[in-house]
Amino acid sequence: MGHPGSVDIPDLRVRFDVDDAALTRLHARAFGSAVPTDATPWSARLERYGVSWVGAFVDDRLVGFVHACWDGGAHAFLLDAVVEPAHQGQGTGRRLVERLVVEVRAAGCAWLHVDFEPHLEGFYRACGFGPTAAGLLRL
């Protein structure tokens, strides 16, 4: 840990062993929701569908996360980007996405897709994503 008032720069870890409960708690804190009784089965989902994932850690505590699922070919999809509220606005999210882009490119993907809410447009543009038309069907 740094000195009071200093910012700890998280270490990035690729394809780390995911603790389902820790990642579930991070999502709940970041999105201001109650922690579910049962942890989301992140590790099983990532092993089955993930091309790669990246975590941000401070003193072995998960403070940020992002992953990409893929079609097994040219297309990957960025999902579940999240940063602990105390670490937001310090570049952690951008560093996570930039590292994920490197990993997805190395896996042979030609395209990385992302959907986002309007208030996140500036963030994703700063990460290099361009505008595109897309559709969404709620099931």
Cβ atoms 112, 77 nearer than 8 A: yes
Tell me what percent of the residues of the chain surpass a pLDDT of 90.
82
* Class at the top of the CATH hierarchy for domain 11-126: alpha beta
- What pLDDT was estimated at residue 50? 97
Residues near 117 by beta carbon (within 8 Å), at least 6 away in sequence:
none
pLDDT tens profile 42-71: 999 999 999 999 999 999 999 999 999 999
- What pLDDT was estimated at residue 5? 52
Per DSSP, the three-state class of 55 is strand
Burial class for 54, CB neighbours closer than 10 Å (0-12, 13-18, 19+): buried
Residues near 61 by beta carbon (within 8 Å), at least 6 away in sequence:
22
- Report the Cα–Cα distance between both ends of the chain, in Å, rounded: 45
pLDDT tens profile 93-122: 999 999 999 999 999 999 999 999 899 999
Mean pLDDT across the chain: 92
> Taking the domains of the chain in order of start, what are their residue ranges?
11-126
Other CB atoms within 10 A of residue 17 CB? 7
pLDDT tens profile 4-39: 555 689 999 999 999 999 999 999 999 888 888 899
**In angstroms, rounded to a whole number, what is the distance separating the alpha carbons of residues 96 and 27?**
15
Q: Are strands 75-83 and 111-113 parallel, antiparallel or unpaired?
A: parallel
pTM score of the predicted model? 0.91
